[in-house]
Every structure is written in C-alpha cells, then in structure tokens.
Structure 1
C-alpha cells in the first residue's frame, strides 16, 4: 500500500486485516512448538498431560557443544566478524583519537572513550552475525563432532525420529535467543541522541 495514493477506508481495513492474518499464520507454528515444549508427555500431542519444566531443566536437556567444535567455529567465524568490524573502522576519523590525546589522555583512554563507542554497533552486529553463522554452520560442526554430539547434530538426529518435547524446548530457547539478539542488534544500530 502506497501512502501517497488515496484509498478507501474499506481497502485500508482489508489491507490491515490481511497483514495481521499473515503474521498470525507465520507465528502460529512457533506458538504450537512453544506450547508442546511444556507438555508433560513423551510425544507432542493434542492431549495435555500437564505442565512441566523437565524438557528444559531435566536430564534430557540438550548439550551445548564441545571444545573442538568451538575452536573450529571460532576459526571460521572470526573472519566474518573481522570483516564487519573493519568495514566500520574504515569510516573512523583517526583525528578524533588524536584530539582526545591532545588534552593529555593516554592512548588507551582515547580508545576507550572515542574508538570503542564508535565501534559499538559493529561489535554488537559482529557478535550477532557470528552467533547466527556459527549455529547455521552445520557442516563444520558435523565434521568436528566427536562421540559427544553438539546441539545442532543432536537436533538433526532426533528430528529424523520425529518431533519430541526436547526438540520443542530447544527450539523455544533458540527462538528466544534469536529474538533477543535481533532486538540487541536493532537497538545498537539506533543513532545516539546527543
């Protein structure tokens, strides 16, 4: 809908209803997964057996990774994070640091008060991108996984057998974590009002 073109009230209401229904259609499967992750049943089913935290806190809760996988992911992800940060750093005017050191500030003070606040959006953005790329990098995780499987491999293996409450719980935690990172990224990109 183009705001500059006049439209009837019926059209605007219809368009708003369409958008609301579209988002309901997108979020309904996520809400169903979230609801089943709290069901006290071995299988996701429509019969509600009671509320439980066992799938989040019990012995069936997922493991979160291995040292080898972490090192492999670190080697892969640092290049992407470096690109994001260096792109922002290219826009930095070095004379700002020099101006901060003129009144007698040390180099470290100038970096802490001038350079790091300038790089804050890039650092947060690089962190979000690094997390998402690391989680998505299934091939490296599969190659480096030993006998103890990390979260992505465990979820993939269990999904072949069908959906389980543990998968639902892990999915809810991943959705919440991704939403949190998206909000952090949005707030970090807002210009500071001075």
Structure 2
C-alpha cells in the first residue's frame, strides 16, 4: 500500500482547514470579552451565554428573552415537521415501494421537485397560494383563518413541502432492503397484518425512522430561505439571528452558533453511533 505523499497530506489539511477553521473561529470568539464578534481577543468570558447584561449592555443567550423565544419557536416548528415527515414519509415510502399503479414513476419524479426548487421561490409560492386560499375561504366562511397567514403554522407547511421528500427517500431506501419473506412466513403462521407490521416491519424500519426524524429536525432548525418568506411575528432562531445581524453583530451570535453546532453535531454523532450498534 502506497504511503500518502506530502502533497496529499497538504491537500487534506487544507481541505479540512477550509471546512472547520471558520467554525473554530466562531466557537473561540463566543467567549471573547468584547462587544465585537471578531479579533482582537480581549479575554475569556461567559457573559455572552449567561450574562445579565451588566458588563456589555446585552444579556447572554441563555438569559435574553429574545433568544429564548426564538429557540422555543424553532422547536414549535421543528418537532411538528419531524413528526409529520416521518409519518407521511413512511406512507409515501410504502406506496412507492409496495404499490403498483400507472404513473408511479412520474409521481416519484414529481416528489423530488421541491428539492431542486430554490427555497425563496418555494416560500413565495406557498405564501401566494395560501394567502389567496385564505382570502377566498374567509370571504366564504366569514371568519378569520390565521393559520393560513404568515406565521408558525405556515412555516411548518412550507418546510414540510421539501423535508418530507428527504424523509421519504431515507425510509424508502431502508424499506427496499427488507426481506418480504419474513412477512410471508409470519402470515403463514397466522399473524395478523397489524401484528406483522408492529413486530417485524416497523422494527426493521426503526433506524430509518429515527434517522429521517433527526434529519428533518436538523433541517427545520437551520432552514432560512423558506422560513423567511413565511414567518410572522414569531421568529424562529435563524430569522432572529438574521435580525440581530442587521441591527449589529455581537458575540451573542457566535454563542448561538456554537450552541447550534454542538447540539446538531452531538445529535448526528449519537445517531451514527446507535445506527452502528444496530
């Protein structure tokens, strides 16, 4: 086996430096005792995480109601998106892998379209559609339909429109590997369809279900383009970060970014370890 050359080592080092150097700088300056999120280094502090605002005039991320509300709003969106993506994605995967009908290939190709449509275009399209739908239904029913207006419910629908496709593909890939003779053997032994689904099929799919849920959760948390077009007065975390950057960047942005990196990286690593064990 040939040993890596010096050029190869330099290339790999430069590649990983390009990937992780900006993240490392963000992580370091989240602890900088300065009102600016950039050099020079002024000393170590935890004020941007747990500070009350006495030192720098702004409270830390874990104390500031603005940041806490935005994190809560992100969970209000991400959890429904993840649950719906897993449930509907499982049904979609079952239809694509088990059912036979005319136009199945066309349907599968149409399902992938939201992945290639820019998020801004997707958000504007959803906003225009539901706004017109809300206007028509409100005139007909003579009542307000706020859930069809910009706000968290519409953000859930907007994010689900493309995250659902990814969840479906993950679950379908796992279902494609399933040995259907196991189901047939269970049916021959007298098991009902519900029991086969509960004891054989779903346990086999569980790694994909968990993986699809985590992917949907992480993608929902970090989504910006589609969310920006559909958000109302309750801003999820990426929109709140964008608003704070427009007002003037501070190390609080670095602190939030570090927390997101640790949470998402830890979640992804945990899932990778549990998947290997299974």
TM bucket by the smaller chain? 0.7 to 0.9
With 183-192 and 139-148 compared, the bigger mean Cα shift is at: 183-192
* Structure 1 residue 161 displacement after superposition: 4.4
Q: Secondary structure at the match of 2:36?
A: coil
Question: Is the Cα–Cα contact under 8 Å of residues 41 and 49 in structure 1 kept in the other structure?
Answer: no
With 55-64 and 181-190 compared, the bigger mean Cα shift is at: 181-190
TM-score by length of 1: 0.72
Structure 1 residue 88 corresponds to structure 2 residue 174: yes
* Structure 1 residue 167 displacement after superposition: 1.1
Given candidates 245, 250, 265, the residue that maps to 1:159 is 245
Structure 1 residue 36 corresponds to structure 2 residue 29: yes
Given candidates 54, 58, 73, the residue that maps to 2:63 is 58
- The CA distance in 2 between the partners of 1:152 and 1:31, in whole Å, is 20
Question: Is the Cα–Cα contact under 8 Å of residues 81 and 127 in structure 1 kept in the other structure?
Answer: yes
Q: Structure 2 vs 1, CA of residues 168 and 92 (structure 1 numbering), >3 Å: closer, same or farther? A: same
Q: Secondary structure at the match of 2:42?
A: coil
Q: Structure 2 vs 1, CA of residues 18 and 93 (structure 1 numbering), >3 Å: closer, same or farther? A: closer
Q: Secondary structure at the match of 1:190?
A: helix
Over 4 Å off, 4+ runs: 11-22, 101-106
Q: Pairwise mapping of residues 20-31 of structure 1 onto structure 2 (< 5 A)?
A: 23=16, 26-31=19-24
Q: Where is the helix percentage greater, Structure 1 or Structure 2?
A: 2
Question: Is the Cα–Cα contact under 8 Å of residues 223 and 238 in structure 2 kept in the other structure?
Answer: no
- The CA distance in 1 between the partners of 2:46 and 2:177, in whole Å, is 53
TM-score by length of 2: 0.54
Question: Is the Cα–Cα contact under 8 Å of residues 124 and 188 in structure 1 kept in the other structure?
Answer: no
Q: Structure 2 vs 1, CA of residues 120 and 41 (structure 1 numbering), >3 Å: closer, same or farther? A: same
Q: Which runs of 5+ in 1 are unaligned?
A: none
Question: Is the Cα–Cα contact under 8 Å of residues 61 and 166 in structure 1 kept in the other structure?
Answer: no
Q: Secondary structure at the match of 1:61?
A: helix
CA RMSD of aligned residues (A): 3.2
Given candidates 241, 259, 262, the residue that maps to 1:173 is 259
